[in-house]
Structure 1
Amino acid sequence: MQKTAIVTGGGRGIGRAIVTRLVTDGMNVVTCGRGERPSDLPQQVIWKQADVSRVAEANALVEAATEAFGAVHVLVNNAGVQVEKTTADSTDADYDLVMDVNCRGTFNMCRAVLPSMTAQGGAIVNMGSISGEVADSCMALYNASKAFVHGLTRSIAVDHGPQVRCNAIRPGWIMTAMAEDGFALANNPKAAMQDALARHPVGRFGQPEDIAKMVSWLVSDQAPYVSGECFTVDGGMTAASPLNPGLF
């Protein structure tokens, strides 16, 4: 049986890598973003312009996937935004932006697919972050929003198993535009990047494909006993003490 997957925020970066991997795995894929369809998106992938923080648009995305391919078997909540500010500096508009996309958007999509997944079975992967476990400086709202995603993931697994498996991935430094924005906050971005690289036991930063491979496994028949977990994929960065002499 050919499975159908929805990937939010699949226009670029990690989302695009996930779309590409699931297509390679033989799935029908529907993805979305708030802009127009990327010109280089594979033709077999359905693109919907949607803001998943809006209930009606999240529901419409699920309906479009169902109409095109039938039941949705896989949901990957990848869409996310960040604001580089402290709590004191964050405005109401900043709060609404980050919480609407990262929290409400993930919630809306999960709620939209759960009725059908509960009936037929399915797998959800939510994109968390190591920032939901250890706080990045000047990223207060982003840090908090990813902690929400981790908590929601566990609740869905508990409340909707055994029909639905739900897991989260906590990426570390994956080389995307968002990561570059994070390094740009430093007084010396180049030095900050070199320091961060030294803290990775695997000797490199992550690539979007590293996360896509983890998604592929989590939604496959190779992970039937895996649910309610948040998997850190960060090249060992958060496992290492900053005083470890072997990393400098």
Structure 2
Amino acid sequence: MNRPVVIVTGGGRGIGRAIVEMFVAQGSQVVSCGRGARPGDLATEVEWVQADVSRSADARHILERAEQRFGTVSVLVNNAGVQLEKSVLDTDDADWDEVMGINARGTFNMCRAVLPGMLRNAGSIINLGSISGLAADPNMAIYNASKAFVHGLTRSIAVDHGPQVRCNAVCPGWIMTAMAEDAFAMAHDPVKAKADALARHPAGRFGQPEDIAQTVLWLASDAARFVTGQCFVVDGGLTCASPLQPRFF
């Protein structure tokens, strides 16, 4: 039985690392990448490429390394992303280049790189969007916009390149990673902000990276073979509830 070949961008930590580890655990051959050096605790069987997905040449290089090491790529997970807590008025050109470069252009570059091979051999693309691309978080203008781009690109790829390629997005809510902790730290009262956010989750907890990884694995599997062009919200019920809090009624 052939082992699937999977590329996971930004797999060095957080959600990306959880995705890498779950694919490895199920027997996939995994290539991951990041702008930094290989993490020392990354599983030895994972091929690491130091690269910047915002550069189209780097995206092609990641694909070439995957094909050289393992063969035909059947799954791409676009997880690499950065977050910026600024309004439009506070955002400068360098901020735009950083956030849109990684989150939007990087996702586009990787999709464009793998599509020719997937059109010949079939494949699945899973993009990491966000609930911030569906409802704007305050003071995160460029990040919100970058994730809305990811959602639109996801639908376009599904429409333009099916049935050979399935393309879906996962839209995480508050997942407890370093990025989430940094966002809470920006609040006037981080402890109160975190408690208030938790109270708005019908699931009664914040998400863990493994919650997103499980959804990604399902979307990449044959169990989801009739699923394409969709943006799946995985947020513990946060966005389904009214902003009015039960304690006031």
Aligned equivalents of 2:190, 2:158: Cα separation in 1: 39
Q: Secondary structure at the match of 1:152?
A: helix
TM-superposed deviation, 1:243: 1.1
Aligned equivalents of 1:185, 1:136: Cα separation in 2: 13
**1:32 matched residue in structure 2:** 33
- Could you say if the C-alpha distance between residues 119 and 247 of structure 1 is closer, same or farther in structure 2, counting changes exceeding 3 Å? farther
User: In structure 2, what residue type is equivalent to 1:43?
Assistant: T
**1:208 matched residue in structure 2:** 209
TM-superposed deviation, 1:141: 0.3
Q: Deviations over 1:75-102 (max 9, x none)?
A: 0000000111000010000001001000
For structure 1, the residue ranges without an aligned partner over 5 or more in a row are none
TM-superposed deviation, 1:139: 0.4
- Could you say if the C-alpha distance between residues 225 and 192 of structure 1 is closer, same or farther in structure 2, counting changes exceeding 3 Å? same
**2:236 matched residue in structure 1:** 235
**Identity of counterpart residues, as a percentage?**
67
**2:18 matched residue in structure 1:** 17
**2:104 matched residue in structure 1:** 103
RMSD: 1.1
**2:143 matched residue in structure 1:** 142
Aligned equivalents of 2:247, 2:76: Cα separation in 1: 40
TM-superposed deviation, 1:244: 3.9
**1:193 matched residue in structure 2:** 194
Aligned equivalents of 1:25, 1:149: Cα separation in 2: 27
Aligned equivalents of 2:55, 2:69: Cα separation in 1: 21
User: TM-score, normalised on structure 2?
Assistant: 0.98
Contact 1:31-1:45 within 8 A present in 2 as well: yes
- Could you say if the C-alpha distance between residues 246 and 122 of structure 1 is closer, same or farther in structure 2, counting changes exceeding 3 Å? farther
* Equivalences for residues 1-248 of structure 1 within 5 A: 1-245=2-246
Q: Deviations over 1:100-151 (max 9, x none)?
A: 0000000000000000000100000000000001111110000000000000
User: In structure 1, what residue type is equivalent to 2:111?
Assistant: C
Q: Secondary structure at the match of 2:45?
A: coil
Q: How many residues align structurally?
A: 248
Aligned equivalents of 2:248, 2:203: Cα separation in 1: 10
Q: Deviations over 1:6-42 (max 9, x none)?
A: 0000000000000000111110000000000000000
Q: Deviations over 1:184-239 (max 9, x none)?
A: 12110100000000000010000000000000000001100000000000000000
Which 4+ stretches in 1 moved above 2 angstroms? none
Contact 1:198-1:247 within 8 A present in 2 as well: no
TM-superposed deviation, 1:247: 9.7
User: In structure 2, what residue type is equivalent to 1:207?
Assistant: Q
- Could you say if the C-alpha distance between residues 68 and 247 of structure 1 is closer, same or farther in structure 2, counting changes exceeding 3 Å? farther
Q: Secondary structure at the match of 2:54?
A: coil
User: In structure 1, what residue type is equivalent to 2:149?
Assistant: F
For structure 2, the residue ranges without an aligned partner over 5 or more in a row are none
TM-superposed deviation, 1:246: 6.5
User: In structure 2, what residue type is equivalent to 1:178?
Assistant: M
Contact 1:51-1:58 within 8 A present in 2 as well: yes
User: In structure 1, what residue type is equivalent to 2:86?
Assistant: K
TM-superposed deviation, 1:63: 0.5
Aligned equivalents of 2:61, 2:130: Cα separation in 1: 27
User: TM-score, normalised on structure 1?
Assistant: 0.98
Contact 1:37-1:49 within 8 A present in 2 as well: yes
Q: Secondary structure at the match of 1:222?
A: helix
Q: Secondary structure at the match of 2:19?
A: helix
